Amino acid sequence: MKSKAEILNALPKVIGHRGAAGHAPENTLASIRKAAGLGARFVEVDATLTCDDEVIILHDSDLGRTTNGHGPVLLSRLEELRKLDAGAWFSKAYREEKIPTLRELTSLLKELGLGLNLEIKPTIGWQIPTAEKIADELADYWPDELPLLVSSFIPESLPIIAQRLPHLPLGYLTSAIPPDWQTRMRGYGASSLHCAWPFVTEQVVQDVHAEGYKLLAYTVNDTEVATRLYGWGVDGLFSDYPDRLLALSPEQGS
């Protein structure tokens, strides 16, 4: 089993956002394969819960944007969700894509040897059951050899993961960095701060590093922005086009 420090120190500078969401339908197995094919060594996906307590990979609480279904995910059974098309909205070439389960995603990551940033994305109101079920599943079958970083915008998700899986590093996910971020990081037991890239400055990078934390930023698809942020020492960037950032310097992905 890898320690927190081993996972954090091995984080690559490029993380495929929702797989490689610029090239393939986000949060599908095709998107993960695409990210790996482009050279990414680590991907980020969003995980949420169905009404029959299954963990699936989907960004929104509603099915409408990224599938041919509609309505709340939390009111849908896995069996119904399996029938939906999660790829055609992006391109006809992907019309066979399904919403993956966390278990299926894990198998593919193992096959490809990719690390994962799993973002807990509960339907609001269902934060606690979502984090508990994700923790149970990870404890049950996550392969020890694969690096895993769990993050969430929902602070109460993180202690649930910490209690069940104390060896995993946790990321505190936010858009802007709140004034009391140090207190929050300590309180949540987080090792990395993940924020929206426009809120990163050179001073922010220095301050976060001075407290002993990693700083990751989303979602960077522009190489000029990436070059500036890497120059300030940011530890990792989430990108829908990991190939663009990897092209800056191939070792960024290792």
Cite the active site residues.
17, 59
Shortest Å, Cβ 176 to ligand G3P: 13
Q: Is 240 in the site for ligand G3P (CB under 6 A)?
A: no
Q: Degrees (nearest 5) of the Cα angle 200, 156, 126?
A: 115
| Cα–Cα distance for residue pair 247/46, rounded to 1 Å | 26
Q: Is 49 in the site for ligand G3P (CB under 6 A)?
A: no
Q: Which residues contact 223 (CB under 8 A, 6 or more apart)?
A: 244, 245, 247, 248
Instruction: Provide the 8-state DSSP code for 72.
Output: B
Shortest Å, Cβ 249 to ligand G3P: 22
Task: At 114, list the tokens.
Answer: 């990719």
Give the one entry of ligand G3P, Mg ion, none that residue 173 binds, where binding means its C-beta sits below a cut-off of 5 to 8 angstroms depending on kind: ligand G3P
Q: Is 235 in the site for ligand G3P (CB under 6 A)?
A: no
Shortest Å, Cβ 251 to Mg ion: 25
Task: At 134, list the tokens.
Answer: 């994700």
**Whether the Cβ atoms of residue 219 and residue 198 lie closer than 8 Å to each other:** no
Nearer to ligand G3P, 21 or 250 (CB): 21
Nearer to ligand G3P, 97 or 119 (CB): 119
**Whether the Cβ atoms of residue 213 and residue 185 lie closer than 8 Å to each other:** yes
Nearer to ligand G3P, 90 or 218 (CB): 218
Shortest Å, Cβ 134 to ligand G3P: 15
Q: Is 34 in the site for ligand G3P (CB under 6 A)?
A: no
Q: Is 26 in the site for ligand G3P (CB under 6 A)?
A: no
Q: If you compute the radius of gyration of the chain from its CA atoms, what whole number of angstroms results?
A: 17
Nearer to ligand G3P, 119 or 243 (CB): 119
**Whether the Cβ atoms of residue 20 and residue 47 lie closer than 8 Å to each other:** no
Q: Is 238 in the site for ligand G3P (CB under 6 A)?
A: yes
